[in-house]
Chain A
């Protein structure tokens, strides 16, 4: 039994599930589609524990911060998030300008996009006129239970942070008691997640089989340059972030990648950074040894507030649309595109559905960008890009945790990391 369980949790089982599922879906699409309900069921099971996990983790970690008089960590975390997101947006923008994936499309590519537009517009109803106010409403819930039920992540985060701060400001004894209870729940949820993760190879098998059964080959052929831009940028950013983690933890880059392997594979297979959260927590605490306090604080917040992959997705897609229509890009438009891209990216993880993307249209329409095209593009590209972008989201999140973590007391300094830290 123990041999079986240790095999099931080994990365090889995960890889086997992913590859076997992918192959099955590609070779026998009907079998892949038939497995879809099982994949969805497993994904639900994984996500089941995540909302209580997020609430307990954030509340307890923030309360501990406040009690320990290290509240300065919060503004620092905000700085890390903002800097990371802005630099991602700038990198995405520059790469988009240099590669210009939307310029000079061929006739067949334009016809393909036109048909994609017709297909998507036939299925979606007219968007209600959204506004920036929608975002504010996403963050401030009137009813936190309903927000949790609707999966309004941003609203939950606000509530958890405030609750944690409140716990930190009451008497120390009471606060510690509450933290003890929250920690107990957190630990129990981690235990439950551990059991659920035994099924990961099978869950990934079903999810990948369904995923590859839907093809997407035509999309690759038609929008090859755009997709290559995404994959290239993702590889570049993951490489850069590996070096950052390596320099912060004192582990060699390849070791870092090996330690994060399971989290990456889960992110790739599930295409859901929320579902990957428990695996990522485990990787950060046990794999990188960054400490529970950091992991508990940064990762759950980062799921919604630090979506590096989504920023890349939104900025490059918007730029693609601008180039497609030959619209000019001045400084104002570029700024709006980047800031809006970050806001929309956060809203996308915080609130499910098209509503968040409709924000994009409000921001970009003054520049003549038909945002419905950008939205359709985001939706159409999702199946092809989601696995990679989720990996990027999770990786970015772990990097933020590494930056926030206090340096290990006795780092095994290698020549390589010594060089990096000196720079």
Chain B
């Protein structure tokens, strides 16, 4: 349902409507508009790449079947300001697929809880981060108690006897190998599967971003919940990894320089008027401070 079904008529009507109702905006008719943005406006829709599964609080389909979340909010606003429709290409099987989709021009932009990493930056261009998440480590309380000896010495986990789980194809594979090179790394299809094994005592720890651990803690009303046992907090403790940030940014095709600058300006504007902070606070709480 998210696949684009290009419709000539619809495109014409959309362009006409845009011309009619958004006289202030630069439109396809305006030859001074840079070709990368003009392309989107001529088409009359913005195609945004996203991950297949629901990832609250960034993007999800709620109880009423409406999309919601930080990324959905941003994408909708961007489409409005461009004067085009919004269309999702929710076809990425893993987060690593998202840059590829943009590079193959199957989408105009990835606004999808996407971590900015060097590996991905070789494929696409990243905007400035719109949120810097903290990395958090979820540890099995009883398995790590002998290692921590009363404190929260996360460094103690960098040991050959320690098993750490991560979501395969996510930036956390890179983060984990960088921070805990000696530990045994196990890849899971999803964070939920990894947490399952953590609760069963198969793993010492799982590295996730704070948005995931925060949503376990504060489920959004109406949004789908992650599939994790209710009493997880009795067995698992969430520790923020100090100094480790996970910058979440939008990604565009490497040739779309003006489009990139436009998005950067958009993010900067929303940071300046405080509306971005309010949006993040609504979905992530004050936990990032």
Interface residues, chain A, with chain B CB atoms under 8 Å away: 107, 110-111, 113-115, 117-118, 121, 126-131, 324-325, 327, 358, 361-362, 364-373
A126, closest chain B residue (CB): B152
Q: How far is the CA of A121 from the CA of B217 in the complex (A)?
A: 11
CB-CB under 8 A from A324, the residues of chain B are 234
A373 touches B141 (CB 8 A): yes
Partner of B150, one of A118, A371, A373: A371
Cβ A115 vs Cβ B237 within 8 A: no
Determine if A368 and B142 form an interchain contact, defined as CB atoms under 8 angstroms apart.
yes
A113–B257 alpha-carbon span in the complex (Å): 53
B289 within 8 A of partner (CB): no
Are A370 and B237 in contact, with the CB atoms below 8 A?
yes
CA distance A342 to B188 in the complex (A): 45
Q: Are A370 and B142 in contact (CB under 8 A)?
A: yes
**Residues of chain B with a CB closer than 8 A to A118's CB:** 217, 233
How far apart are the CA atoms of A368 and B147 in the complex, in Å? 9
Contact of A370 among B145, B153, B217, B230 (CB under 8 A): B145
Choose among A111, A131, A358, A364 the residue that contacts B231 (Cβ–Cβ < 8 A): A111
Provide the residues of chain B in CB contact with A121, threshold 8 Å.
Answer: 237-238
Q: Is the CB of B150 within 8 A of A358?
A: yes
Q: Whole-angstrom distance between the alpha carbons of A352 and B264 in the complex?
A: 51
**Within 8 Å CB of B151, what residues of A?**
126-130
Q: Kindly identify, within residues 113 to 154 of chain B, every residue whose CB is under 8 Å from any CB belonging to chain A.
A: 141-146, 148-153
Please state if B231 and A366 are interface contacts (CB–CB under 8 Å). no
Q: Which residue of B lies closest to A130 (CB)?
A: B150
Between-chain CB contacts (< 8 Å), 29 pairs: A107-B231, A113-B231, A113-B234, A114-B230, A114-B231, A114-B232, A114-B234, A117-B233, A117-B234, A117-B237, A118-B217, A121-B237, A128-B151, A325-B235, A358-B150, A361-B149, A362-B149, A364-B145, A365-B148, A365-B149, A366-B145, A366-B146, A367-B145, A368-B142, A368-B143, A369-B145, A370-B237, A371-B150, A373-B141
A129:B149 contact, CB within 8 angstroms = yes
Neighbour of B142 across the interface among A113, A117, A128, A325, CB < 8 A: A325
In the bound complex, how far is the Cα of B150 from the Cα of A361, in angstroms?
5
B238 contacts across to A, CB distance below 8 A:
121
Apart from A110-B231, A114-B233, list 20 A-B contacts with CB within 8 A: A107-B230, A111-B230, A111-B231, A115-B233, A117-B233, A117-B237, A118-B217, A127-B152, A129-B149, A325-B141, A325-B235, A362-B150, A368-B142, A368-B145, A369-B145, A370-B141, A370-B142, A370-B144, A370-B237, A371-B145
Residues of B within 8 A of A127 (CB): 150-152
Contacts of A130 in B (CB 8 A): 150-151
- Across the interface, do B150 and A365 meet the contact criterion of CB distance under 8 Å? yes
Nearest 3 CB-CB pairings of A with B: A129-B151, A370-B141, A361-B150
Name B215-245 residues within 8 Å CB distance of A.
Answer: 217, 230-235, 237-239
Residue pair A365, B152 in contact (C-beta under 8 Å): no
Number of A-B residue pairs, CB cutoff 8 Å, is 73
Tell me which residues across on chain B come within 8 A of A366, comparing CB atoms: 145-146, 149
Chain B contacts with A in 137-182, Cβ cutoff 8 A: 141-146, 148-153
**Which residues from chain A contact B237 at a C-beta distance below 8 Å?**
117, 121, 370, 372
Chain B binding surface, main DSSP class: helix
**Complexed CA–CA distance, A117 and B232 (Å):** 10
Q: How far is the CB of A134 from chain B (nearest CB, A)?
A: 10
Rounded to whole angstroms, the CA-CA distance of A367 and B143 in the bound complex is: 10
Q: Is the CB of A365 within 8 A of B146?
A: yes
Q: With the chains together, A129 CA to B239 CA distance in Å?
A: 15
In the complex, which residues of chain A have a beta carbon less than 8 angstroms from the beta carbon of B217? Answer: 118
- Would you call B149 and A372 a contact (CB within 8 A)? no
B143 to chain A: which residues have CB within 8 Å?
A: 368
Q: A121-B237, A127-B151 are in contact. Are A368 and B146 (CB under 8 A)?
A: yes
Contacts of B150 in A (CB 8 A): 127, 129-131, 358, 361-362, 365, 371
A373 and B234 contact, Cβ closer than 8 Å, known pairs A127-B151, A127-B152: yes
B residues near A362, Cβ cutoff 8 Å: 149-150
| Alpha-carbon gap, A53 to B129, bound state (A) | 62
Cα-based distance from A362 to B151 in the complex (angstroms): 8
Considering only CB atoms, which chain B residue lies closest to A370 in the complex?
A: B141
Q: Report B150 CB to chain A, min CB distance, Å.
A: 3
A171 to B141, CA, bound (A): 60
Chain A residues whose C-beta falls within 8 Å of the C-beta of B233 in the assembled complex: 114-115, 117-118
Closest to A362 in B: B150
User: Which residues of the partner chain A approach B148 to less than 8 Å between Cβ atoms?
Assistant: 365
Which residue of chain A has its CB nearest to the CB of B230? A111
Residues of B within 8 A of A361 (CB): 149-150
Q: How far is the CA of A362 from the CA of B153 in the complex (A)?
A: 13
Which single residue of chain B is at the shortest CB-CB distance from A119?
B233
Measured CB to CB, the nearest residue on chain B to A110 is B231
- What is the bound-complex CA distance between A110 and B233, given in angstroms? 9
Complex: chain A residue closest to B147, CB-CB: A365
When C-beta atoms are compared, the residue in chain A nearest to B218 turns out to be A118
Complex CA distance for A259 and B206, rounded to whole angstroms = 59
CA distance A129 to B217 in the complex (A): 26
How far is it, in angstroms, between the C-alpha of A324 and the C-alpha of B234 when the chains are bound? Answer: 10
Interfacial residues of chain B within 237-266, with CB under 8 A of chain A in the complex = 237-239
Cα A114 to Cα B230 in complex, Å, equals 8
**B231 / chain A contacts, CB cutoff of 8 Å:** 107, 110-111, 113-114
A114 to B151, CA, bound (A): 20
CA distance A118 to B215 in the complex (A): 13
Shortest A324–chain B CB gap in Å is: 8
* Docked CA distance A42–B208 (Å): 49
Alpha-carbon distance between A111 and B142 when the two chains are bound, in angstroms: 17
In the complex, residue of chain A having the shortest beta-carbon distance to the beta carbon of B148: A365
Q: Across the interface, which residues of A come within 8 angstroms of B152, CB to CB?
A: 126-127
